[in-house]
Amino acid sequence: MRPLFDALTRNATSLVGSALTTASAAFFLVLLGLDLTGRTQGPYFGIVAYVIIPGIFLLGLLIIPAGIALEHRRARKAAGGAAAASLPVIDLNVRRTRAMVLGFLGLTGINLALFGIATYKGAEAMETTKFCGTTCHNVMQPEATTHARSAHAGVRCVACHIGPGGAWFVRAKMSGTRQVFETALGGYPRPIPAPVHDLRSANETCTECHQPARDAGDRRVAIRHRSDDEKNSAQETVLMMHVGGRRGDVSSGIHWHADPAITIRYRSDPSRTIIDKVQLTAADGQVTTFTAKTPQTPPAGAGEPEWRTMDCVDCHNRAAHPSPSAEAEVDAAIDAGTIDAALPYVRRESVRLLKETKGDTDEARRDLAAGLRAFYEKEHPEVAAAQGEAIAAAGRTLGDLHARNVFPAMAVTWGTYADHLGHDAWPGCIRCHDDDHAAPDGRVISQDCEKCHVEVTPS
């Protein structure tokens, strides 16, 4: 190994490369050992251990032959430069040459093994939800927070944003490289735009787990909410949802839209909120275009209208990142008992304070607690005196609701993102089902409520 060692350390350039390679390899092995024994902490471990350190290792390996080449060039100049450059002669019968070749092959094998481990672990680390949600500081904090509360919390980000197959993996990593520079330079948009226009079709991701065309029949759904009266009265709306799907050769209900035998396309503004044309290709190949009779005017600066083939996320657009209203969050907290329903007007005042409160999380917590306490001290001093702990607990809950829905650094607040499942706070279904989109033969996309659900009396 001595001849090889001499070649690697004969000049300063190769010596620097050797030092970088040796130090980064040792550091990588230590970090790998920590990872394998479960002693890792922090959101940056994966990117340091499996991206940055291997990058330094590779840089060192590239510097070493550059130094050897420079040394060879200097040797030729010292000899007068008369000898023409020639390829080295490798004679394995010479002990010195044989030692150098064997040493080179041994180090190459070690390098390849380290690179193989780093590549595998790097890809694995970059596909974790932790990496996607927390590595870039507060950039993805809204998405990470809402994902953790969703029905898809156990599903990794890459399952929807990349999906199976190598082509989309490469495409996603190329896009990710651009996003890394945007994040480092602070050039990312605030808030992060939605919908994601280069997202893979749900037919290639959602259907890995779900079967939207399967007949689901009718589903009973109870929607609980509270009134703004003094008693915060509980109300319940019970709907029989005609989810439906495909039964035999016939599709019905809401999931008629997911029938693989038909294709629905629509033209909308980039936010997919304003839809002016809908094109239906039936199972027999007949194409019908429905055009809005009332002019559809997208917001100023929204961008040019674009055509899109409808899939799951056109309705379930917040399935993995729920964006509930302030009203819905307060209603749920009252039902859960974290806000005491016995406090008069607590629902009304909680919603008002949540919508009015600005500032970061710590400041908002103080303002929400103080605002709720001030209301009762002014309007209901007897309640403030008798139920001080309940008011304080409600104030703490409002702080929690603000923290998981409002992100000032990313310009995300109540109602920033549209939710098109249903037609409560946002148009949702009514974007198309408005009795206004008409075909040339006079047919319209119906707004008949009972096509999707009927209200039933709670038993």
What pLDDT score was predicted for residue 212? 85
Q: At what angle do helices 361-379 and 346-356 cross, to 10 degrees?
A: 140
CB count in 10 Å sphere of residue 50: 24
What pLDDT score was predicted for residue 81? 57
Give the length of the chain: 459
10-residue averages of pLDDT along the chain (459 residues): 59 83 86 78 70 85 82 73 59 81 81 81 78 78 93 91 82 78 82 90 90 90 94 94 90 92 95 94 95 84 89 94 95 96 97 94 95 97 96 97 94 94 91 95 94 81
80 φ/ψ angles, rounded to the nearest 5 degrees: 95, -5
What 3 state SS string does 219-271 have? EEEEEEEECCCCCCCEEEEEEEEECCEEECCEEECHHHHHCCCCEEEEEECCC
Order across the sheet with 275-281: list the strands: 306-309, 263-268, 275-281, 287-292, 437-438
CA atoms within 13 A on the CB side of 405: 26
What pLDDT score was predicted for residue 349? 97
Q: Tokens 């917040």 map to which residue?
A: 318
Is 277 within 8 Å of 266 (Cβ atoms)?
yes
pTM: 0.77
Q: Prior bond to 195 cis, omega within 30?
A: yes
What pLDDT score was predicted for residue 83? 52
